[in-house]
Amino acid sequence: MTSLFIKSIKFLVGGAFIVVLLIALYGSVRGVIKEPPAETAEHAMHKHPEELKLASDGPFGKFDRAQLQRGFLVYKDVCSTCHSLNLVSFRNLKDLGYSEAEVKKIAKDWGTKQPVFDEKGGTWGERDNVPSDRFPKVYYPGTGTPPDLSLITKARHDGAAYVHSLLTGYDKKPSAEALAKFPEFAKTPDGMHFNPYFANLNIAMPPPLTQDGQVQYSDGTRATVDQMSKDVSAFLVWTAEPTLETRRQAGFAVLGFLIFAAFLTYGAYRSVWAGVKH
């Protein structure tokens, strides 16, 4: 009798809990339908990244080495003064087609040198970079350090498309309809730059790609702002996953082995149980 009473209490408590949840859910849904949340400026003006097709897209995609080299030049000449690439070593550039001598020269000529520390951990000097070094960090004491770009295409939704859209989105202004709703965005705050692809619309980074020919390509490709943006976006896809091609090849090899093993297993099954009646 006592056991039955305890079970009844449990069912009543559980049922009451479910009823309370349903009432709360009904109230929330009813409130959203009757009084939907006010549209924010970010929602009205924010744009989704434009589609960007790269040679590395898709399961069979491969890196375009020529494009990656162009993208590296854009990073070196434009982006490296502010943004680090600290998860990539200079010697990794050999994967892009650079020779060992070229990698050594790139490392030695790099603008930011490697700090040299004393026994107490203090810095007492600098030395040239060598191929085994990672790209040195960029510091801005007191003003904040811009984000490292090593994994930026992994850290942002839409990856390379986001980077490309952000770099080319500075000239896009809010529509007249959006400004009528949010007149405070008619004037961009001092030290900020309007960019509809950035999360809160105003970004502290000035437009890095400002004119065609800002970088000199050696392969004859015309260095338009759009082309430079695409190239550096492709390069940052590579920095985020330099072993992309190897990983895909290994995946296809494993998949092929599993399919072959499945056929072997089925053949063994038919052979072993061929004379057995069910």
Residues marked as binding?
A: 79, 82-83, 205
Interior angle at CA 219, CA 215 and CA 223, nearest 5: 35
Residues marked as binding for heme c?
A: 79, 82-83, 205
**CA distances in angstroms from 67 to 50, 164, 225, 231, listed in the order given:** 19, 14, 14, 6
Question: Which pair of tokens denotes residue 79?
Answer: 């982006």
